[in-house]
Structure 1
């Protein structure tokens, strides 16, 4: 029994004290003091951490924000590249992949949201977020079920879509680069006609790029129109929609340890080696969404907010990959095939009532919310052995038999979740911040095998708590303590055919946020411990995993974004993460795969003013420490990135981005399989703005 999940009396006292303090009073969105806010601090305002806009340096929750400017400067092409220069995040551990985003936060998976509403990713039905359509990305670290319901304990990534603006402006962005990279992006916004109460935004993009693996590629079309209507001084409505179509030959970067980490008589396997069937494999995805964000000020104290989105995703996936080495011929391996043909329909709504009021000594915010999520996934699929053996060092394609679609298994998954949550935040004497919240969730899950005519379901009720306390010192050094919980239903069955119990997690964290007057930026440091129960651990004889494990992460993070001078900006991060797994079958704790003990990164920007006006140079280094997969050690690695911008004429800008400058060849991680890291990428851009 875990001493953390069932705390000792002192820990439980801290939890109850935090909760009691918060529930005895009520909070406000903490606004930065006007004389204590600098440019960067003003940017670091998050609606994800508390569901009310709040400066992160005054919030007893760990969070990071990457702005549109940084997304553009580093030429972020996928969501999992966003936090490469932030603490607590592992990305790129599966190498380059074109059909999903891979992130690990504080040693665990994360939940992905867009505009505060859940994005569904289940059973290879992946909803992909296009970075060109975003104005920022926020990361709330650690368990977040108090505000977001079911979620793994790693954290919540919330991608914020570009919104209409009331002044006419726009940009055209043209890119070319290695791997046949071609991109055209257009972004326009402004008042709609002569109306001063209507504004629009239209974001569109075309991109084509080949993958790191031989014979892989992806072509994307993206369109995101939006409209804001200022109905009155009290009421505003923003309608958000998007259409995205991907046609790809999927990248399956799976490699065996044999030929990557382990030596062979035949040399090493080349990182670009593709074990799939490029002429047969496909990933055709079409995703469409429409929704809105409504805000209505009832009076000077109360405000009602509602977010809604309906989403559809259609998928045809044929994806073959290496499974194991041949017993009879060490040069050969067997392959498997994942096949999915189906659709996902979902809608979700989040209703919030926010009250803000003041007394002589306090600023108060009270948040009450009800959210609802509804998911239906229906389709046909299979997992099967695929084709004749393939040469691991010189693959030849075409030795396979296409899937007979009449043999596919047809299935349907329905999931509904209703959550009721309360949050209280109190700021006392401009020095103390107290935060507490509680949430009750009802989750219903039903899996149907339409081919066999069988059905299984489960109902889960869960209460989640959180609390925090922070001291806002006059010198800008603000220590805090917080406690949070998470739960996550598992949509699959154990060896007895029963649905797994939900995973549950808890985090206790102590940290400090530093943003003194005169410092244009911030620094945060935090020590934390997360424990998750009901994790999937040992593998049974039939290949099904037993629910017999616990995962634990004890970590320390330092993160800073600041201007060292008016021209020199530094983004730096360090993470120590002791992530372990312990199962009943193996009572010894072992290092969790994929998660390094040490990570560090630093990015420097320098803007020239006198010597070369209009020129900006940037460069960064990313160090990832050694990881383990059982007894297999994966060596540490360091890669370097660079950027150059030059405004060569009014409204015109050229940019060059190079990732993995030295084109270092390295194994990024091993977890059952091994994965080479992304190769060098060079992209040149020309941007026109008005």
Structure 2
């Protein structure tokens, strides 16, 4: 696999590591595919997708092995082959070529994944289990080199996942042990003093292949395009599979990560970035923090398993379980607004310490059987989530800073910790789904009932609030499979999300409700490795908080946001040597009901038009082994404030790649933002985020 977001295990002797791996090696001369870099086969469900952009399956859409062409919902898959080929350094960058998805709201700041689907912030899952959304600073982060694939399921998905965003779900799928041996080591170097390295070792641990193991690890450190800032992290993910027979499989998954340095706060004032400031322009390299004071360290660890057992030809039980713990210590000075009479930004300080623990388990019983001419894939499931967050915080001020000639000599006092809070969240859900097939017709019906409880305690004021929510959600989809590979479908789905807080009367807010109607068509031509999809949708979120017209500083749940759109996506190996991947999305979001004065306006940061094109070609003859490619990403204008009086300009960014493979060696070069364009990726009322400037990297890898 071509390394991308990689980084090696920390201080392990390179000599010892290479000796150990050599002892495990099998003489296997792996040949690169014509279009893509060689990648790892990580699971039976993903074997057909391992070395191609054109995925055929996505377990996150139905929690089953239903092919994408038979899924009556809009689903996009980013394989590890695509991640590696495009040189993506994190999950948001891996999604930048998808239609209907805006993943880089933080721009060059990739401390957190902030992904917007169809105009709504998306929820993130790892191996089908929910990642925390109640936290902010202790949110976990995952190196994309440790992932086999990323599945983007668009639209409401509460039937299978409980409380979720109406926009969709992003499911990260970890690499799993393989029976066939696979070994890779790599090293990456690039601008901003980037140095990365990593390894991926997988194979059977015994002759009978009852035990399979995999060890994936990365290490990375670099400066950034912003002065006085840097990233550094270490990541390791051991995995072990026990399969005593063909009917039983137990896979242990774990991941341990440490981030001594996690980059920078990328938000800068609107004046001087988006809006002209007579005192001067604020550069994308300007650092508005305080060297020696700012720090952001994060640690995360997770352990869990996936269990599967076939009782017979009909019944199968599945269970996924994970325990996750994260800790973060964040101390920062940040700019907020400008001084009117000078080229200076106002600054404030904060210190937040968090500890987060989460336990998730999902158990489902699956039955495949026939009732007359109708084939059923029936599933009953129950899942449970428990989150526990502790947060200590303090806030203060700092001296203004000249953004044209910054002087950081004025000391900043560490703000006193004055806030101590604890938050518990539990959710228990019961769901059922039946995927029925009769001749060429497919019908998917699903329903779910959830109980969710949130308990928040202010440990200083000794004040406690408790919210109990109950919700039922459903989904229905109908599809017809033509013999020529065309599959039109219609679907309807609902979702819910609990909300914190109370109204003026003390009544707890009810969950927001999402509902979506979608129609689309998928085309998988016979004899061509390709998948073409098109979808139109009408999506609404109701019970949104808006200002209480009778009681200032309070809210009522009469708000509504609607999003309509069109999405087109195509991935195809046109010839064995030529790959093309392209997408286009038109997203039309609107605040349809509000007391905040923004009814009829568009939410901030949502581009109406986005488009992307990526292509690569493998040369032959005397240049055999060389592949070249590149892409273009267009993001249209978006509104920068709730009043819709300011717009973020549209931007087109170009990327390029080249790689050469010789036997088991591969050298790859990736350049992102080829023309080094300075642009704004996202703006809101109180600030803007610069996009990533030119980033280039060279990766040398060896596979055996």
TM-score (norm. length: structure 1): 0.91
Are 1:177 and 2:190 counterparts?
A: yes
1:500-525 deviations in whole A, cap 9, x for unaligned? Answer: 43221111101111112133201100
Aligned to 1:590, the other structure's residue is in SS state coil
Report the alpha carbon displacement of residue 611 of structure 1 after superposing the two structures with TM: 4.4
**2:444 corresponds to 1:435:** yes
Which of 316-325 and 566-575 deviates more? Answer: 316-325
Match of 2:115 among 95, 100, 103: 103
The answer on 1:420 being equivalent to 2:434 is no
Query: Do the aligned partners of 2:548 and 2:595 also contact (CA within 8 Å) in 1?
Result: no
Q: Is the 8 A contact 1:38 1:521 kept in 2?
A: no
Task: Identify the residue that residue 8 of structure 1 maps to in structure 2.
Answer: none
User: For 2:130, which of 118, 122, 126 is the aligned residue?
Assistant: 118
1:142 has 2:170 as partner: no
Alignment partners' CA distance in 2, 1:605 and 1:568? 6
Measured in 1, the distance between the counterparts of 2:692 and 2:51 equals 34
Aligned to 1:598: 609
Using a 3 Å threshold, how does the CA distance of structure 1 residues 644 and 442 change in structure 2: closer, same or farther? same
Equivalent residue runs for 1:357-506 within 5 Å: 357-358=369-370, 361-382=373-394, 384-405=395-416, 407-429=417-439, 431-492=440-501, 499-506=508-515
For 1:48 and 1:249, how far apart are their aligned partners in 2?
29
Q: Residues 70 and 38 of structure 1: is their aligned pair in 2 closer, same or farther, counting only changes over 3 Å?
A: closer
Q: Distance in 2 between matches of 1:543 and 1:390?
A: 33
Q: Look up the match of 1:16.
A: none
Asked if residue 355 in structure 1 is aligned to residue 367 in structure 2, the reply is: yes
SS of the residue corresponding to residue 389 of structure 1 reads strand
Does the 8 Å CA contact 1:424/1:437 hold for their aligned counterparts? Answer: yes
Q: Report deviation, 1:400.
A: 4.7
Q: How far has the Cα of 1:545 moved from its partner?
A: 6.8
The answer to whether the 8 A contact 1:39-1:520 is kept is no
Query: 2:54·2:571 contact (CA, 8 Å) conserved in 1?
Result: no
Cα deviation, residue 222, structure 1: 0.5
Residue 209 of structure 1 corresponds to 222
Task: Specify the alignment match of 1:11 in structure 2.
Answer: none
The one of 200, 209, 213 aligned to 1:187: 200
Map of 1:313 onto structure 2: 326
Q: Is 1:526 aligned to 2:540, yes or no?
A: no
**Which moves more between the two structures, 173-182 or 249-258?**
249-258
Q: Where does the alignment leave 5 or more consecutive residues of structure 2 unmatched?
A: 1-43
Q: SS of 1:81's equivalent?
A: helix
Give the corresponding residue for 2:696. 682
Counterparts of 2:611 and 2:370 in 1: how far apart (Å)?
A: 42
Residue 39 of structure 1, CA deviation: 9.2
- Aligned runs of 1:553-572 on 2, under 5 Å? 553-572=563-582
Partner of 1:579: 589
The Cα of 1:481 is off from its aligned counterpart by 0.4
Residue of structure 2 equivalent to 1:69: 81
> CA shift at 1:265, angstroms?
2.3
TM-score in terms of structure 2 length: 0.89
Aligned-partner SS, 2:399: coil
How far does residue 332 in structure 1 lie from its aligned partner after superposition? Answer: 2.7
Deviates more, 1:157-166 or 1:355-364: 355-364
Q: Which stretch of structure 1 is more off in the superposition, 436-445 or 231-240?
A: 231-240
- Report the Cα offset of residue 250 of structure 1: 3.6
| Contact 2:279/2:342 (8 A) holds in 1 | no
CA contact (8 A) 1:98 1:211 kept: no
Q: CA deviation at 1:303?
A: 0.2
Cα distance in 2 for partners of 1:95, 1:547 equals 32
| Matched position secondary structure for 2:348 | strand
Query: How many angstroms does 1:634 deviate by?
Result: 1.2
CA shift for structure 1 position 167? 2.0
Question: Contact conserved, 1:249 with 1:281, CA < 8 A, in 2?
Answer: no
Contact kept, 8 Å, 1:524 with 1:559, in 2: the verdict is yes
* In 2: Cα distance, 1:435 partner to 1:587 partner: 38
Instruction: Tell me if the contact between 1:231 and 1:237 (Cα under 8 Å) persists in the aligned partners.
Output: no
Are the equivalent residues in 2 in contact too, given 1:98–1:218 (CA < 8 A)? Answer: no
Counterpart pick for 1:643 among 648, 657, 664: 657
Q: CA deviation at 1:559?
A: 0.3
Unaligned 5+ residue runs, structure 1? 1-30
- Backbone CA RMSD of aligned residues: 2.3
In structure 2, relative to structure 1, the CA distance for the partners of 1:494 and 1:652 (3 Å cut) is: farther
Offset of residue 215 of structure 1: 1.0
Question: What is the CA-CA distance between 1:496 and the residue it aligns to?
Answer: 7.2
Structure 2 CA distance for partners of 1:186 and 1:534, relative to 1, 3 Å? same
> CA separation in 2, counterparts of 1:241 and 1:147?
23
Give the distance between the partners of 2:517 and 2:647, measured in 1 at CA.
30
**3-state SS of the aligned residue for 2:92?**
helix
Q: 1:73 to 1:562 in 2, by over 3 A?
A: same
> Which residue does 1:22 correspond to in 2?
none
Aligned residues: 652
Tell me the residue number matched to 2:335: 322
Q: Distance in 1 between matches of 2:402 and 2:224?
A: 21
Q: Contact 2:49/2:56 (CA < 8 Å) preserved in 1? A: no
Pairwise CA distance, 1:613? 0.9
Aligned partner (choices 47, 67, 81) of residue 59 of structure 2: 47
Distance 1:533 1:614, change over 3 A: same
